[in-house]
Structure 1
Amino acid sequence: MSALRIGRAAALAPAAAGTRAVHASRIACLVLAERQAPLRLGRVAVLLPALSTPCVTRHALVWTIRRRDGTAHAFTTHDRALSFQGLVARACDGFAPSASEARSDGSAGTMDLVGVLNDEIAEADLLSGALDDADIECWQVDWDDRGTTPRLLQKGRIGQVEHSAAGFRLEVRTLAALLNQPVGEVYTAQCRWTLGDARCGVAVTVRSGTVTAVDGLGAFRDDGLSDPDGTFDHGRLSWTTGANAGLAGAVKRWTLADHRLVLHQPAARAVAPGDTFDVAFGCPRTADACANRFANLLNFGGFPHVPGHDALQQRPPAR
């Protein structure tokens, strides 16, 4: 359509009784119609009522994220904020999805959301696990809000969360992925309980400590702790002061000789002398530790005498 014809259509639109002013995005619909047949003055009145129908140029995507702690976030691909389901969907150029995968056989599909850190999703949220297992939905909406019904495109939960200095990546697992999770309990040689829970019955001991020296990546010393080797192995360490205050991690190894604590993963931020923490006793989930360290063998939740894969693969001796 020529510029003159577009101008004529836009000029005639307000004059039509019972119709709204033609938005720039709706001119695209007139352009498509003009490709099929020339736009004549007599056809304008016929085309204008169709402007109230949905058009792909008014579609935008909205993602809603509802965390386990009740906090909700919303983002949109539109160039301005939108109101959706009681939330303000923030226009965020640095928030984009990967290709969405859906399978006809009902198996689990996946999608990734990649974004940059901002005041909505900060680094502390990623490090503390606040987004783990959060409910996420992807909707197709009409950003012009002309009464069309939003369309739910995908629904699931956030799985793996990765982050770097540049941004983050959220793995979206569809509801079908829940069907792949084990239901019930399995026979294992190690204890199935968590130290300190109702089925374990052991009162967890927690020590408070202070970093006296940083000893490499993910390791530091505390000269005030005097418990035997391995006491804190597999235990949980929570930072109470310093740059990592409020964050937690798992202890890999504790040695008394050098008063050294090694974490499974380095702390998210730099550890400095003077930082304080709480560290809980750990449990290797073995029958020996349950009996000798905690005197709790009656509540042991493992099956150490059940034959494993090695026993099943053994062959009788050759004759």
Structure 2
Amino acid sequence: MGPDPHRGDQAVKQVSAALAAHLAGPVTTLTTCWSILRWDGAEFLFTDHDGDVAFDGKIYRASVGYSRTAISSDAQLAVDNLDIDGFLDDASITEEDMRAGLFDFAEVRIFLVNWQAPGMGALRLRRGRLGEVTLTGNGMFRGELRGLTQALQQEIGELYSAECRADLGDARCQVPLLPPVIERSTSYAVGDVVRAPLQSGTWSYGTMSFRCTAAGITAASQPVYAEGAGTSTTDGTATFVAEPAWTRKGQVDAVTARVSFTGTVEGAAVASGWFTAGVLTWITGPNAGRSVEIKSWASAGGAFELFIPVAYPISPGDQFTVAPGCDKRFATCKSRFANVLNFRGEPLVPGVDSTMSYPDAV
């Protein structure tokens, strides 16, 4: 049986005529190239050839060796994974960046080229994203390349549950953890929450957020905002009322380990556990821009314990922002955040225990 003429072009791989002729020849001069594109836009290019390869306007370096497991393909939708082994190199892939998670879910492309004539084009072998990455301890790493069908293994949809399925501060929760900075000559509606710069305190946004209570357009220049909770400020034709900000600024006082330290949080006159299960984001120091979940926080002494160690050492004076935690229970949503209208759970749905219950004997 021949190919079905009604299914269009059924070629599995598309290559140029010149490269196809080279592949069909008795001797080939092929090399494998691969690129890694991180989420921050940094791109790393490598080849297993003994010299650098110039292809498509880019240089694929041969100074860092790597090897991969065999690539196999079939017509099924099973995830076609393979492993890549490579050397850590201070000039390219470093252990610190690996531990910091910068290569998590990076896009990987693997292809063949004729190193003697790269202009022939490429034979695409595999495209996917890095999954689990393991540091072997001898200056090498092993990365799992997950194929495009990996996305088909993810669950789509939700199951009902007693706990909230939203994450604190996301589009469904709508708690304004870190509202946008107010803009000049801009229209605001009732209920909009903003931050106003140049407030008191060590952070330029102070410890207050401002909720619009009278719609209008802000003035061309910012007035002095009243910072007491419940006080109002007229900005142009709009009116804003101050309320305590959810996200606060803090600073490291003393370091115990990469998972624990003591720190001072500005205006954090709250009970112990307020920031437990919250998110801490570094704004200075070598970990700047990275976020980590908080395992526990004690108001007395300001002791923080993180769920996982940070990528780089923490030093006294490092600054961070910290947001409160949420245990996703209805009672917490009501008492702490006053956000029950956006609660994404079903706390009143009978559980499994109710299906096993029976009337008491008379």
TM-score range, shorter chain: 0.7 to 0.9
What is the match of residue 284 of structure 2? 241
State whether structure 2 residue 341 is matched by structure 1 residue 298.
yes
- Label 1:152 to 1:228 Cα distance change in 2 as closer, same or farther (>3 A): same
Taking only aligned residues, the RMSD between alpha carbons, in angstroms, comes to: 2.9
State whether structure 2 residue 185 is matched by structure 1 residue 214.
no
Q: Distance in 2 between matches of 1:249 and 1:138?
A: 32
State whether structure 2 residue 94 is matched by structure 1 residue 122.
yes
Q: What's the TM-score once normalised by structure 2's chain length?
A: 0.65
Q: Distance in 2 between matches of 1:317 and 1:109?
A: 53
Q: Distance in 1 between matches of 2:49 and 2:109?
A: 16
What is the match of residue 144 of structure 1? 116
Deviation (angstroms), 1:56: 5.4
Q: Distance in 2 between matches of 1:308 and 1:145?
A: 66
- Label 1:234 to 1:164 Cα distance change in 2 as closer, same or farther (>3 A): farther
Deviation (angstroms), 1:128: 4.5
Q: Secondary structure at the match of 2:60?
A: strand
Deviation (angstroms), 1:113: 1.8
- Label 1:167 to 1:286 Cα distance change in 2 as closer, same or farther (>3 A): farther
Q: Distance in 2 between matches of 1:184 and 1:52?
A: 45
- Label 1:111 to 1:310 Cα distance change in 2 as closer, same or farther (>3 A): farther
Greater helix content: 1
What is the match of residue 326 of structure 2? 283
User: Gapped runs of 5+ residues in structure 2?
Assistant: 1-20, 178-245
Deviation (angstroms), 1:94: 3.0
Q: Which amino acid aligns with 1:133?
A: F
Higher mean Cα deviation, 264-273 or 100-109?
Answer: 100-109
Q: Distance in 1 between matches of 2:92 and 2:105?
A: 17
What is the match of residue 33 of structure 2? 62
Per-residue CA deviation, residues 98-151 of structure 1 (Å, 9 max, x unaligned), is: 344545532112112222333233345434443333321211221111654421
Alignment of 1:82-101 (within 5 A): 82-100=53-71
Alignment of 1:128-167 (within 5 A): 128-145=100-117, 148-163=120-135, 166-167=139-140
Q: How many residue pairs are counted as aligned between the two chains? A: 269
Q: Is the 8 A contact 1:73 1:87 kept in 2?
A: no
Deviation (angstroms), 1:220: 1.0
Q: Which amino acid aligns with 2:297?
A: W
- Label 1:102 to 1:51 Cα distance change in 2 as closer, same or farther (>3 A): closer
Per-residue CA deviation, residues 55-100 of structure 1 (Å, 9 max, x unaligned), is: 5551111112223333332211101111223321111443222344
What is the match of residue 197 of structure 1? 170
Identity of aligned residues (%): 37
Q: Distance in 1 between matches of 2:345 and 2:78?
A: 32
Per-residue CA deviation, residues 12-45 of structure 1 (Å, 9 max, x unaligned), is: xxxxxxxxxxxxxxxxxxxxxxxxxxxxxxxxxx
Q: Distance in 2 between matches of 1:316 and 1:290?
A: 32
Greater strand content: 2
Alignment of 1:245-264 (within 5 A): 245-264=288-307
Per-residue CA deviation, residues 183-229 of structure 1 (Å, 9 max, x unaligned), is: 23332332222222222121112221122222355111124554311
Q: Secondary structure at the match of 1:115?
A: strand
- Label 1:70 to 1:52 Cα distance change in 2 as closer, same or farther (>3 A): closer
Query: Match for 2:273 among 230, 250, 270?
Result: 230
Q: Which amino acid aligns with 1:222?
A: G
Q: Secondary structure at the match of 1:183?
A: coil
Q: Distance in 1 between matches of 2:290 and 2:22?
A: 54
State whether structure 2 residue 78 is matched by structure 1 residue 107.
yes
Q: Distance in 1 between matches of 2:44 and 2:53?
A: 12
Query: Match for 1:181 among 154, 158, 169?
Result: 154
Q: Secondary structure at the match of 1:91?
A: coil
Name the larger-Rg structure: 1
Q: Secondary structure at the match of 2:61?
A: strand
Q: Is the 8 A contact 1:127 1:247 kept in 2?
A: no
- Label 1:241 to 1:163 Cα distance change in 2 as closer, same or farther (>3 A): farther
Higher mean Cα deviation, 157-166 or 212-221?
Answer: 157-166
Q: Distance in 2 between matches of 1:146 and 1:211?
A: 53
Q: Which amino acid aligns with 1:199?
A: R
Q: What's the TM-score once normalised by structure 1's chain length?
A: 0.73
Q: Which amino acid aligns with 2:273?
A: G
- Label 1:274 to 1:69 Cα distance change in 2 as closer, same or farther (>3 A): closer
What is the match of residue 33 of structure 1? none
Deviation (angstroms), 1:158: 1.8
- Label 1:307 to 1:269 Cα distance change in 2 as closer, same or farther (>3 A): same
